[in-house]
């Protein structure tokens, strides 16, 4: 059946598996023949045949995904003995997934020596997935990869490998230094990554602008999204060129009427005016007129918390925790790290087993969570205030007084 | 190999330094980019404040790559792209070059080796996916196979930018949905409760943890044939499979009853509208390896309808919000069933609490 997946124009993973299985001079040819045998069986029976277990490296409690074949004959022996152990090593790539060919080739060389020769670039978690290693070879393989400067990523109830967009490296829409944020935050939580002891997984993702190319809002517990406070930068000459090239109707249909808060006007001289106070930083007009428009200069981040996939209460979006903070100075980055630390500490102490941050917050209430980690409520955190009166409000005067005090202090600055 | 006397402890180096692996032009202009444009599908052109320019060529890969494929890509990068590459979140590889004249030879080299160039702008993007039968311990299907079969059918749309906006398709081999939200999501949907091997539960499963895992409290401790085990209230069970990972004797996968469902309208970006979750449109499709033709037919129907009816820049979910769900089902010819109406927590928010209805002559006639 797998042969049928070698036809067609898209690159075939099956052809790749077969190349490995037929590399008779390599140590993994037998393992990959076994792998193809098991996979073919799955295609025939529509069943999976892997089970987990416990495999790791010395000094760490996670980062290896153990896989043992369940296909056994009547004698209890594995049907495909050479593929009976087929573990994955999760390796953290550099932020932005940059590689020199030299480093990729070295990874291939190590992996040929100890593993199957099969690499997923990359897993949904953002890891390099070295797929197919025997229990015996996990340690020496990791040792050599580790000597190259790579470290294991996260698995299980742990801080996970993060992802960040190409950002500053090649995108004018990038609003903060994603590589610096990614590196500092993850390196601050390596203990929680390598020695899994949290209630469940905790993911950071870093997107340089609200286009959120890393899917951070829906796929991470803590989403760091670039944004700006001042006005969108406009090059009116480029606007006029765009209008001349594409026509006024195109600008009206594709820019003006697509602005979610109707902030953009096309003027009679084919320049545009933007009502920046009402701009929600959605990125649409900037995405369309890439030469004419770019994010403002007073840049920073919005932080959302609690995104996750379906297990167990259904998919959750991250929701706004910090509407805006600067992320430029050492102090700013330390503040981000401290916030992450506070949230993870609270999560570790208060979440139920196998409960994600979003589920924990839903269970205890967002206002209670804010209070617990010492953040003040902000109207940007909600789409609208509560619509039902069933809440005890005898602390109103205190809370309203705090708000007034904060705002008069800000006004005095 | 002999074991060393003292075990080697890991160097807890964490995230590798990205700059050592970064194309020199990207490194030089880090944080100093001015604008970009797309000269053709699969190619991005970035201008730096310094006047440096970079052309990026994006090509699709099979994600699960053999070392020979990785080395082939390295050979291409060494010969045509200064020895540097990067990967996107959707497993595309990107080559960067500093001169426009280097673009065409690179594209020719990729084409000669069978790597499709595309996946930029308003194209159908490479399908994001998970492990499946190849490596997962709980899969209902094989993600790599579904993706290969679908991308074979859709590769022209990967190589061109002729959709109203980008289309991100995802696949997931169980209802946990590791593949993520998509404009179109192809996901496993189980339709029967787990089949329990009562002989094994007590030895393999931590029973209280399994009971706690169930989203609808349908699992309870039981004794069968004198052995402690678990039982499922099949009237309550939503067949989600959440009990299967912590308790493999509660087998949820079934060759016949594990089906495929298709969801549409998910969107991660904040552009125009807020991020959206995908919504159910079709279920009950057979899990039909090696090419899943029934899935491809539905996906192509939805794509064609979107392509014909949506306006420029409308994502799938935005298009449907504008035209309304009744029109979506009308245009695609897909049936609307009780299963489309959400009974889960918060489901009431998805009911129409208004008299806003796109009335037409056929409304009411089928009641």
Cβ distance B148 to A214 less than 8 Å, yes or no, reads: no
DSSP character for A357? Answer: H
CATH number for the domain spanning A124: value is 3.30.70.2500
Q: Is the pLDDT reported for residue B2 higher than 70?
A: no
* Closest-CA residue of chain B to A144: B10
SS3 B228: strand
DSSP character for A366? Answer: H
Residue A386 Cα, gap to closest chain B Cα (Å) = 15
Residue-level pLDDT at B108: 98
Give the Cα separation of A319 and A381 in Å (integer).
7
Give the Cα separation of A222 and A340 in Å (integer).
8
- pLDDT per position as a tens digit, B31-41: 999 999 999 99
User: What distance separates the 2 farthest-apart alpha carbons in chain B?
Assistant: 84
Going along B17-148, which residue ranges are E strands? 33-40, 43-48, 53-59, 64-66, 84-87, 93-97
- Chain A residues with beta carbon closer than 8 angstroms to that of B73: 104
Which residues lie across from A241 on neighbouring strands? none
Q: Which residue is it, tokens 């890509």? A: B73
What average pLDDT does the segment A353-380 reach? 96
Residue A169 is nearest to which of B26, B67, B144, comparing CB atoms? B26
SS3 B66: strand
Cβ distance A14 to B148 less than 8 Å, yes or no, reads: yes
Across the A/B interface, how many CB contacts are shorter than 8 Å? 352
Cβ distance A187 to B15 less than 8 Å, yes or no, reads: yes
What average pLDDT does the segment A168-192 reach? 98
Residue A335 lies in a domain: yes
Q: Which of A294, A316, A338 lies at the terminal end of a domain, its last residue?
A: A294
Cβ distance B64 to A309 less than 8 Å, yes or no, reads: no
Residue A143 is nearest to which of B8, B65, B128, comparing CB atoms? B8
Residue A98 is nearest to which of B21, B78, B133, comparing CB atoms? B21
- Chain B residues with beta carbon closer than 8 angstroms to that of A122: 87, 91
Which residue range forms the structural domain that includes residue A283? 233-294
What average pLDDT does the segment B84-96 reach? 98
- Chain B residues with beta carbon closer than 8 angstroms to that of A57: 10
Q: Is the pLDDT reported for residue B337 higher than 80?
A: yes
Cβ distance A16 to B258 less than 8 Å, yes or no, reads: no
CATH topology of domain B19-112: Alpha-Beta Plaits (3.30.70)
Residue A345 Cα, gap to closest chain B Cα (Å) = 20
pTM: 0.97
- Chain B residues with beta carbon closer than 8 angstroms to that of A186: 14-15
Same domain, A115 and A95: yes
Residue A156 lies in a domain: no
Q: Which of A122, A147, A172 lies at the terminal end of a domain, its last residue?
A: A147
CATH number for the domain spanning A395: value is 3.30.413.10
DSSP character for B363? Answer: T
Q: Which residue is it, tokens 């052309």? A: B55
Which residues, at least 6 apart from A14, have a Cβ–Cβ distance to it below 8 Å?
A2, A3, A5, A6, B148
φ/ψ (deg, to 5) at A388: -130, 150
Query: What confidence tier does A107 reach under pLDDT thresholds 50, 70, 90?
Result: very high
DSSP string, B290-311: TT-HHHHHHHHHHHHHHHHHPP
What average pLDDT does the segment B68-81 reach? 98
Cβ distance A120 to B63 less than 8 Å, yes or no, reads: yes
Give the Cα separation of B188 and B124 in Å (integer).
21
* Closest-CA residue of chain A to B144: A13
* Closest-CA residue of chain B to A182: B15
Residue A166 is nearest to which of B74, B86, B212, comparing CB atoms? B86
Give the Cα separation of A14 and A21 in Å (integer).
10
H/E stretch holding A272: strand A272-274
Same domain, A105 and A219: no
* Closest-CA residue of chain A to B16: A94
A111: burial class by Cβ within 10 Å (0-12, 13-18, 19+)? buried
Cβ distance A104 to B74 less than 8 Å, yes or no, reads: yes
Q: CB B244: neighbour CB atoms within 10 A?
A: 21
What token pair was written down for A297? 């200069």
In CATH terms, B132-191+255-342 corresponds, of 3.30.413.10, 3.50.50.60, 1.20.950.20, 3.40.50.300, to 3.30.413.10
- pLDDT per position as a tens digit, A234-249: 999 999 999 999 999 9
Q: Is the pLDDT reported for residue B364 higher than 80?
A: no
Q: Is the pLDDT reported for residue A257 higher than 60?
A: yes
- Chain A residues with beta carbon closer than 8 angstroms to that of B272: 258-260, 282, 284
| Contact by Cβ (8 Å): B315, B304 | no
- Chain B residues with beta carbon closer than 8 angstroms to that of A288: 313
Same domain, A265 and A354: no
H/E stretch holding A242: helix A236-246
Cβ distance B18 to A98 less than 8 Å, yes or no, reads: yes
Cβ distance A253 to B255 less than 8 Å, yes or no, reads: no
Q: CB B311: neighbour CB atoms within 10 A?
A: 15
Query: What confidence tier does B365 reach under pLDDT thresholds 50, 70, 90?
Result: low
Do the two domains B19-112 and B132-191+255-342 of this chain adopt the same fold? no
Query: What confidence tier does A181 reach under pLDDT thresholds 50, 70, 90?
Result: very high
Same domain, A173 and A304: yes
Per-residue exposure over B214-240, b if at least 16 CB sit within 10 Å of its own CB, e if not: bbeebbeeeeeeeeebbebeeeebebb
Closest Cα partner for B289 from B133, B67, B131, B103?
A: B133
Cβ distance B14 to A190 less than 8 Å, yes or no, reads: yes
Residue A158 lies in a domain: no
What average pLDDT does the segment A305-316 reach? 92
Residue B329 Cα, gap to closest chain A Cα (Å) = 24
Q: Higher model confidence: residue B338 or residue B363?
A: B338
- Chain B residues with beta carbon closer than 8 angstroms to that of A190: 12, 14
Cβ distance A10 to B60 less than 8 Å, yes or no, reads: yes
Query: What confidence tier does B4 reach under pLDDT thresholds 50, 70, 90?
Result: low
Q: Is the pLDDT reported for residue A355 higher than 60?
A: yes
CATH topology of domain B195-251: Alpha-Beta Plaits (3.30.70)
Q: Which residue is it, tokens 């539905």? A: B298
Residue-level pLDDT at B362: 73
- Chain A residues with beta carbon closer than 8 angstroms to that of B261: none
DSSP β-ladder status, A128-133 and A115-121: antiparallel
Q: Is the pLDDT reported for residue B335 higher than 60?
A: yes
Residue-level pLDDT at A312: 87
Question: What ipTM was reported for this prediction?
Answer: 0.97
Query: What confidence tier does B355 reach under pLDDT thresholds 50, 70, 90?
Result: very high
Closest Cα partner for A96 from A45, A170, A37?
A: A170
Angstrom CA distances, A159 to A63, B294, B328, B351, stand at 11, 39, 41, 37
Q: What angle do CA B21, B22, B23 make, to 5 degrees?
A: 125
Give the Cα separation of A139 and A4 in Å (integer).
36
Residue B270 is nearest to which of A48, A103, A212, comparing CB atoms? A212
| Contact by Cβ (8 Å): B131, B82 | no
Residue A40 lies in a domain: yes
- pLDDT per position as a tens digit, B269-279: 999 999 999 99
Q: Is the pLDDT reported for residue B71 higher than 80?
A: yes
Residue A381 lies in a domain: yes
pLDDT above 70 covers a percentage of chain A that reads 100
Residue-level pLDDT at A205: 98
| Upstream peptide bond of A216 is cis (omega within 30 degrees of 0) | no
Going along A125-195, which residue ranges are E strands? 128-133, 163-164
Same domain, A198 and A315: yes
Q: Higher model confidence: residue B359 or residue B102?
A: B102
Residue A19 is nearest to which of B66, B114, B155, comparing CB atoms? B66
Q: CB B109: neighbour CB atoms within 10 A?
A: 19
Q: Which of A294, A318, A346 lies at the terminal end of a domain, its last residue?
A: A294
Residue A157 lies in a domain: no
- pLDDT per position as a tens digit, B118-155: 999 999 999 998 899 999 999 999 999 999 999 999 99
Q: Is the pLDDT reported for residue B8 higher than 80?
A: yes
Same domain, A219 and A256: no
Residue A310 lies in a domain: yes
Q: Is the pLDDT reported for residue A55 higher than 70?
A: yes
CATH number for the domain spanning A273: value is 3.30.70.20
Q: What is the 3-state secondary structure (H, E, C) of B76-106?
A: HHHHHCCCEEEECCCCCEEEEECCHHHHHHH
DSSP string, A283-296: -HHHHHSTTTEE--
- Domain total in chain A: 3
φ/ψ (deg, to 5) at B37: -145, 170
Residue A364 lies in a domain: yes
Residue-level pLDDT at A164: 98
Angle between helix B316-323 and B293-309 (nearest 10) = 60
Same domain, A15 and A138: yes
Domain limits of chain B? 19-112, 132-191+255-342, 195-251
Query: What confidence tier does B6 reach under pLDDT thresholds 50, 70, 90?
Result: confident
- pLDDT per position as a tens digit, A156-166: 999 999 999 99
Residue B327 Cα, gap to closest chain A Cα (Å) = 21
Residue B362 Cα, gap to closest chain A Cα (Å) = 31
Give the Cα separation of A158 and A67 in Å (integer).
19
Same domain, A185 and A200: yes
Query: What confidence tier does A410 reach under pLDDT thresholds 50, 70, 90?
Result: confident
- Chain A residues with beta carbon closer than 8 angstroms to that of B131: 120, 123
What average pLDDT does the segment A116-141 reach? 97
Cβ distance A150 to B15 less than 8 Å, yes or no, reads: no
């Amino acid at each position: 059946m797998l042969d049928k997946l070698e036809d067609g124009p898209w690159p075939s993973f099956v052809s790749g598996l077969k190349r490995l299985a037929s590399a008779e001079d390599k140590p993994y040819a037998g393992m990959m023949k076994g792998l193809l045998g098991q996979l073919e069986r799955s295609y025939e029976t529509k069943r999976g045949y892997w089970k987990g277990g416990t495999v790791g490296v010395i000094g760490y409690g996670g980062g290896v995904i153990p896989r043992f074949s369940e296909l056994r004959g009547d004698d209890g022996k594995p049907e495909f003995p050479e593929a009976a152990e087929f573990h994955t090593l999760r390796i953290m790539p550099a932020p932005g997934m940059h590689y020199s060919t030299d480093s990729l080739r070295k990874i291939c060389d190590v992996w040929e020596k100890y593993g199957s020769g099969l690499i997923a670039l990359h897993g949904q978690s953002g890891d390099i997935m070295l797929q197919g290693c025997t229990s015996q070879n996990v340690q020496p393989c990791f040792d050599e990869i580790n000597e190259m400067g790579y470290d294991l990523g996260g698995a299980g109830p742990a801080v996970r490998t993060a992802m960040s967009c190409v950002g500053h490296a090649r995108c004018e829409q990038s609003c903060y230094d994603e590589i610096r944020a990614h590196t500092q935050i993850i390196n601050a939580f390596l203990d929680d990554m390598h020695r899994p002891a949290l209630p469940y997984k905790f993911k950071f993702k870093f997107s340089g602008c609200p286009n959120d190319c890393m899917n951070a809002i829906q796929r991470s517990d803590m989403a760091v999204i670039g944004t700006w406070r001042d006005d969108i930068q406009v090059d009116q000459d480029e606007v006029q060129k765009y209008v001349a090239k594409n026509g006024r109707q195109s600008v009206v249909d594709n820019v003006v009427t697509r602005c979610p808060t109707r902030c953009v006007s096309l003027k009679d001289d084919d320049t545009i005016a933007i009502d920046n106070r009402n701009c929600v930083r959605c990125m649409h007009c900037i995405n369309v007129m890439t030469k004419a428009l770019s994010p403002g200069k007073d840049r920073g981040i919005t932080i959302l918390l609690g995104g996750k996939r379906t297990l167990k209460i259904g998919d959750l979006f991250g929701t706004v925790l910090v509407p805006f903070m600067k992320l430029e100075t050492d102090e700013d980055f330390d503040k981000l790290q401290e916030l992450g630390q506070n949230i993870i500490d609270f999560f570790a102490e208060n979440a139920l087993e196998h409960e994600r941050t979003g589920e924990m917050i839903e269970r205890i209430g967002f206002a209670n969570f804010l209070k617990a980690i010492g953040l003040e409520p902000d109207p940007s955190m909600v789409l609208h205030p509560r619509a039902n009166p069933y809440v005890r409000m005898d602390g109103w005067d205190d809370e309203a007084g705090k708000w007034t005090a904060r705002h008069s202090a800000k006004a005095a600055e | 190999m002999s074991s060393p006397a003292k075990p080697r402890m890991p160097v807890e180096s964490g995230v590798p330094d990205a700059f050592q692996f970064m194309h020199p032009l990207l490194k030089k202009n880090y944080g100093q980019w001015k604008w970009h444009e797309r000269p053709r599908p699969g190619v991005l052109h970035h201008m730096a404040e310094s006047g440096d320019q970079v052309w990026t060529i994006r090509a699709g890969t099979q994600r699960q790559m053999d070392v020979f494929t990785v080395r082939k890509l390295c050979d291409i990068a060494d010969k045509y792209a200064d020895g540097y590459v990067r990967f996107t979140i959707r497993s595309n590889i990107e080559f960067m070059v500093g001169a426009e004249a280097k673009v065409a030879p690179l594209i020719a080299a990729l084409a000669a080796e069978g790597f499709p160039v595309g996946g930029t702008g308003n194209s159908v993007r490479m399908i994001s996916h998970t492990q499946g039968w190849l490596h997962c311990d709980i899969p209902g299907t094989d993600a790599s196979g579904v993706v290969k079969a679908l991308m074979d059918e859709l590769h022209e749309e990967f190589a061109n930018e002729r959709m109203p906006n980008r289309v991100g398709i995802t696949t997931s081999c169980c209802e946990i949905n590791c593949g993520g939200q998509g404009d179109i999501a192809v996901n496993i949907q189980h339709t029967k409760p787990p089949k329990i091997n009562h002989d094994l539960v007590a030895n393999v499963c931590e029973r209280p943890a399994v009971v706690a895992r169930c989203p609808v409290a349908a699992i309870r401790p039981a004794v069968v044939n004198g052995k402690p085990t678990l039982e499922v209230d099949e009237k309550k069970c939503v067949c989600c499979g959440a009990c299967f990972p912590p308790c493999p004797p509660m087998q949820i996968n079934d060759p016949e009853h594990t089906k495929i469902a298709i969801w549409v309208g998910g969107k991660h970006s904040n552009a125009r509208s807020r991020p959206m979750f995908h919504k159910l449109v079709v279920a009950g499709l057979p899990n039909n390896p090696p090419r899943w033709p029934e899935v491809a037919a539905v996906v192509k129907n939805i794509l064609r309808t979107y392509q014909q009816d949506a306006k420029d820049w409308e994502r799938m979910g935005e298009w449907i919000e504008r035209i309304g769900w009744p029109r979506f089902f009308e245009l695609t010819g897909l049936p609307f069933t009780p299963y489309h109406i959400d009974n889960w927590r918060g489901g009431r928010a998805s009911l129409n609490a208004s008299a806003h209805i796109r009335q037409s002559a056929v409304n009411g006639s089928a009641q």
